[in-house]
Copies of this chain bind each other. A is one copy, B any other.
């Protein structure tokens, strides 16, 4: 039987950040690590080693949407703020999300058939149930990433790049995105590691610290060229102006952007990022990838930076509706 890694050695340092309590005991615990940086790449706060890598996953979407603005495609196609926000989204496939994705495709002269986001049931339960009851299979537009893919396709049409191959790491759009992530986060290209994301486009791994710095820059425009700063602030304003489009009903990113002026974007395997116009960015990774730990850990970390946030402790209920425990922060 093979083992895929050499034990604790080489795993990033972390600390307990959230706990699930039942009765008198902690039943389960979630560890994590985080970095807070200013646009000058200075570490303001950290848990664990800020130089250790993480996969940004969908938290990279605001960066992946930059070419949509920089290329002029967003203007050429007259994309709305909602559409730009959904291009940065991990959306729940509610009707407004699908409408925004369709608007991008239509304006770029494309159809749902051009989307290569892969298919999974809508993240919003009632929409998933509706599809199932109607005997419909989930389509690529229902994927939480379909806005990102539509945005990528719009850039390809505008730039006369091939649309059929837009997911490949060597495609000019994907190379441009890698260059931009590298530039915004202050890294050399060989410092960003590329693997495959679940939706079939490149996934980027980079140091927690560099990612936090990138978020601080996207949220403020500081530390970027004038052109890049303009694009970053436009992406920021689209997301902050349309929190629902970035996630959906009952989702943490939407809740947090609704109640603060932060730029917020989560990613698969329990990545959380935030950018403050006051001059800092935060990147947080729950080590075990558990989504349920993101909310309490992120709220505690944001509270520690003076952000007024919603209550971080949630009640866990049993099948009879009774309280059986709670989940909350440990920091």
Is A15's CB under 8 angstroms from B8's CB?
A: yes
In-complex Cβ contact of A129 among B132, B195, B197 (8 A): B132
Is A25's CB under 8 angstroms from B205's CB?
A: yes
Number of copies of this protein chain within its complex: 2
Is B328's CB under 8 angstroms from A23's CB?
A: no
Tell me whether A2 and B197 are in contact in the complex, defined as CB-CB below 8 angstroms, given that A55-B27, A270-B28 are known contacts.
no
Q: Within 8 Å of chain B (Cβ to Cβ): is A37?
A: no
Q: Within 8 Å of chain B (Cβ to Cβ): is A53?
A: yes
Of A65-73, A217-225, A242-250, A284-292, the one contacting chain B is: A284-292
Measured CB to CB, the nearest residue on chain B to A322 is B196
Residues of B within 8 A of A187 (CB): none
Q: Within 8 Å of chain B (Cβ to Cβ): is A330?
A: yes
Complex Cα spacing A307 to B201, Å: 40
The 5 closest A-B pairs by CB, nearest first: A118-B319, A23-B195, A28-B289, A4-B328, A288-B288
Q: Mark A1-43, 1 if CB is under 8 A from B, else 0.
A: 1111101101100011001111111111111000000000000
Complex Cα spacing A293 to B55, Å: 19
Can you sample 6 A-B contacts with CB below 8 Å?
Answer: A5-B330, A10-B26, A11-B26, A29-B287, A195-B325, A198-B324
Measured CB to CB, the nearest residue on chain B to A19 is B5
Q: Within 8 Å of chain B (Cβ to Cβ): is A200?
A: yes
In-complex Cβ contact of A24 among B193, B270, B299 (8 A): B193
Tell me whether A55 and B22 are in contact in the complex, defined as CB-CB below 8 angstroms, given that A11-B29, A198-B318, A319-B200 are known contacts.
yes
Is A299's CB under 8 angstroms from B22's CB?
A: no
Q: Mark A264-306, 1 if CB is under 8 A from B, else 0.
A: 0000011000000000000000011110010000011001000
Q: Within 8 Å of chain B (Cβ to Cβ): is A110?
A: no
Complex Cα spacing A196 to B311, Å: 24
Q: Within 8 Å of chain B (Cβ to Cβ): is A194?
A: yes
- Please classify how large the interface on chain A is, using the bins under 10, 10 to 19, 20 to 34, 35 or more: 35 or more
Is B200's CB under 8 angstroms from A320's CB?
A: yes
Tell me whether A23 and B196 are in contact in the complex, defined as CB-CB below 8 angstroms, given that A29-B288, A303-B1 are known contacts.
yes
Residues of B within 8 A of A143 (CB): 319
Report the minimal beta-carbon distance from A189 to chain B, rounded to whole angstroms.
Answer: 15
In-complex Cβ contact of A1 among B8, B10, B269, B311 (8 A): B311
In-complex Cβ contact of A289 among B27, B31, B53, B193 (8 A): B27
Q: Within 8 Å of chain B (Cβ to Cβ): is A157?
A: no
In-complex Cβ contact of A269 among B28, B200, B326 (8 A): B28
Is A4's CB under 8 angstroms from B28's CB?
A: no
Measured CB to CB, the nearest residue on chain B to A326 is B4
In-complex Cβ contact of A288 among B30, B300, B331 (8 A): B30
Report the minimal beta-carbon distance from A192 to chain B, rounded to whole angstroms.
Answer: 11
Which of A10, A25, A54, A143 counts the most B-chain CB atoms under 10 A from its CB? A25
Tell me whether A4 and B329 are in contact in the complex, defined as CB-CB below 8 angstroms, given that A25-B205, A196-B318, A322-B200 are known contacts.
yes
In-complex Cβ contact of A3 among B194, B293, B330 (8 A): B330
